[in-house]
Every structure is written in structure tokens, then in C-alpha cells.
Structure 1
Amino acid sequence: MREASVMSWRDQGSRDGAGFGDFAPDWAYSEGAPVDQWAPVIERPFITVTMRFDRPWPGEEWLSSVRAFAVSTQTRIVTVAQVARDAPRAVRLANALGGEYITPLSMRHDALDDYIRAVYRRSLAVISDRAHGLIIGATEGAYPIGSGSDPHKISRLLTAVGLGGLVGRYDEFDGFAARFDAQLPSLAPAVNAARADIADLRAHIHAAMDAVA
């Protein structure tokens, strides 16, 4: 790795831990709709919740906080499963939150991607402990709120693009809700900057490949 022409980590913490190379945002930030095509806030009726199947259940205090957040933002809670194994938890969350589980037409990977992006395009925010649920949500204009039992990974990947302000443990969610309105305007500039950084990394990779062609 040290001898590679291009060596890039997807967050600064990983680069600093390794002690060499550069870092750029996760490539998933390069996907999704252009920022100028995002639906405005007033046309986003959902708060979408998607949680990993293999993490501790968040508990009643967290559920109550999420319900209160939906009331304060005048939105409706929906849940989705980004991978098939998350579906039972998504159904349980919908029942516990008084929301709706939006069922995909298929569990094929391409169909799931289309389905979840369609939901995020109508979401004001996405609440998740799954890193790429948060990133994909961000690329479709849904503000990422990272909430989990062990949020270190999602914190690194969102902080890398300046979106780490609403990431933490389950018991910190009320603080996220209180700061949400102030954080919301930072989403579009952060995604645009992340895409520019990835485009720059892509150019360096192509240049390195051309040099040995």
C-alpha cells in the first residue's frame, strides 16, 4: 500500500491510524440525484428510519424521542429495509413508532436501491445506524441522523464530509432533534463538496493508470 501511486482511505481517522496515504469521502457520496434536483423541504413528508438487524434494540426512550421529532417537523414516520435481513426489524420499528413499513417490490439488490432512493427523495431526514443508509439518504437530500449503540464508524464516514454533527448514541437523540433546523442547510454544500473530492480522486486514479498503460 505504501508504494501505491494512489492510496486513499475513506475517512481521516483511518488514514491517521495507518500513518500514510490520503483520504477522500466514501464513493457512495458520488451517487444519487444532483443537488439542484432535490425536492424542497416542504415537499418531504417523511422521516425515514432504517436500523441494522444485528444491533441492540434502541428502547422506549429513543422511540418516544423519534415520535416527538416527527411531530415537531410535521412529518410522518416510515421505515425501510436497505438489506433483506433488516426487514423484520423495520416491521417491528414501524409498529413501535406508530409508522408505516414501506414494502419493496423485490429484495434484489438493484430493486432495493431504486426503492430506498425513492423513499429518501421524499424524506426530510433519515435516522439509521447503517452507514450507507445515511450516506444514500444524504445523496437524495434526506439529512443523515446517525443514531446507534456503537456509532463510531458512522461518525467517521459522516464527519469526513462535514455531516457528523447529528451522530451519536441512542440516548443523545433529543439533542439531535434540537439542533436539526440549524444543521439542515449544511447538507447540500457538504454533498457537493464530497462529490468534488471523489471526482478529484477519480482523476488521480485515471492519471496513475494512464501512466502505466
Structure 2
Amino acid sequence: MSAVTFDSAFRDAAVMSWRDQGSRDAAGFGDFAPDWAYSLGTPTSEWASSDERPLLAVTLRFDRPWPGDEWLSAVRGFAQATSTRIVTVTQVARDSPRAVRLAEALGGDYLEPPSMRHDALDEYVRAVYARSLAVVSDRAHGLIMGATEGAQPIGSGSDPHKISRLLTAVGLGGLVGRYDEFGEFAARFDAHTGALVPAVDAARADIADLTSRIDSAMNSVR
């Protein structure tokens, strides 16, 4: 991999933060804080309990390989083991055909949003995640949104490196892997559920601290 040359403005900035440790380490300077999306969503104190979460939400990117029969069978098995109903959702409009196909292949239901307008879609998907025990996705912000609404993120994809970095940054990388690994880490699901609340709370605290440091830096030059 060729080295990236950064302008001196990046190195000399009062605040320089990456969204995962791997990026910071590769750059060789600055610090890191969780992705800003962790700061959004419902307070953890208001999350529904696990027995009030009857859904298993699934959403996959439209531009990645189809997961295949083994993965589909593993997801159905996980839903059966957790007594959840499989639903598929669309987080961006281009994922809609895949969400419909997934619902058919998994024997689940595609929950069609009332609008593809960004704010309406965000509100709708969050409402689904708020009733979901877990969200299975290869879309990073699908997993993060799910986590911020109390749905355990299960990262599953053909190339899960990005989602692994962003979830590992907050201590939620234990249930991330390739399609063919789904059965293995789904079997460890119960061992990871207790980490979700403290991970999201800590991520939000880190982002609040970063926000404060940015405000201070901005105020010093006004």
C-alpha cells in the first residue's frame, strides 16, 4: 500500500481525530473517537427490554455479493433460536430491491417505509430497530443506528473490514465476520448482549468530549 501524504494543516490542527484506531495508526498522528453516528438515537435508559423486541432486522447493501443459501439458513436458524420474526428494511433507497429479495429468501417481511425522504426514512428505520433484538447488516451505519436504538449489531458481509473497525472502536466488534462465519458468532450472541449499553454510553461520552474540544478550539480563534 502506498503511503498517503497529509497536508501540514492536518498535523498542526488543534484537534485531529479519526473515527477508528486503525485509521489513526495508519496516519501516524492525531487521536480517534467513535463515529459521530453513535451520538444519535434513543438514550440507553429508554431502550425497550429484550423481551419487548420481537424482531430480527436484516439489511444488506445493494452493491455487494449475494450471501448465499448457507447464510440464509443460518439467519433463519438464529431467528428461530431467539424467537424473533425476520424483517428486512431499507436504509437507503438503492437497497430496496435487495431488501425485498432478502425478505422472500428468508421467509420474512419487507417493511416498506412510507417515504424515501431522508428524514422520514431515518425515523422509520429507527422505529424498527427499537423493536429489534438485533440487526444483521453489512452497512456500517445500519449497524451503528441499530446499536443506538438497542438492537445488538451483528456485522455480516463479504468484506467486513470497515464495519469491524467502526464497531471495534467502541467495543462491539465481537459479532462481526464474513458471511460464512455467521453461524459461529451468532452462537456467541448471548455472551455479547451485556456489552451494548456500556459501549454506547461510552461512545457518546467520547463524542461529547470531542465536541467540547472542537468548540474550545473554535472559540479560541473567534
Shorter-chain TM range is over 0.9
Tell whether 2:116 aligns with 1:139.
no
Unaligned runs of 5+ in 1: none
Structure 2 CA distance, aligned partners of 1:185 and 1:116? 23
Tell whether 2:12 aligns with 1:3.
yes
Structure 1 CA distance, aligned partners of 2:50 and 2:63? 32
User: Shift in Å at residue 173 of structure 1?
Assistant: 0.4
* Of 29, 35, 56, the match for 2:44: 35
* Of 188, 208, 214, the match for 1:205: 214
Tell whether 2:194 aligns with 1:193.
no
User: Shift in Å at residue 176 of structure 1?
Assistant: 1.4
Tell whether 2:116 aligns with 1:90.
no
1:84-122 CA-to-partner distances (Å, cap 9, x unmatched) read 000000000000000000000000000110000000000
What are the within-5 Å matches in structure 2 for residues 13-52 of structure 1? 13-52=22-61
1:127-164 CA-to-partner distances (Å, cap 9, x unmatched) read 00000000000000000000000000000000000000
What are the within-5 Å matches in structure 2 for residues 73-112 of structure 1? 73-112=82-121
Q: What residue is the counterpart of 1:125 in the other structure?
A: 134
1:21 corresponds to which letter in structure 2? Answer: G
Structure 2 CA distance, aligned partners of 1:32 and 1:44? 17
User: Shift in Å at residue 177 of structure 1?
Assistant: 1.4
1:32-72 CA-to-partner distances (Å, cap 9, x unmatched) read 00000000000000000000000000000000000000000
1:187-206 CA-to-partner distances (Å, cap 9, x unmatched) read 00000000000000000000
Secondary structure of 2:188's counterpart equals helix
Q: RMSD across aligned C-alpha pairs, in angstroms?
A: 0.3
Structure 2 CA distance, aligned partners of 1:173 and 1:72? 14
Regions of 4+ moved over 4 Å: none
Secondary structure of 1:17's counterpart equals helix
Count of residue correspondences = 213
TM-score (ref. length: structure 2): 0.96
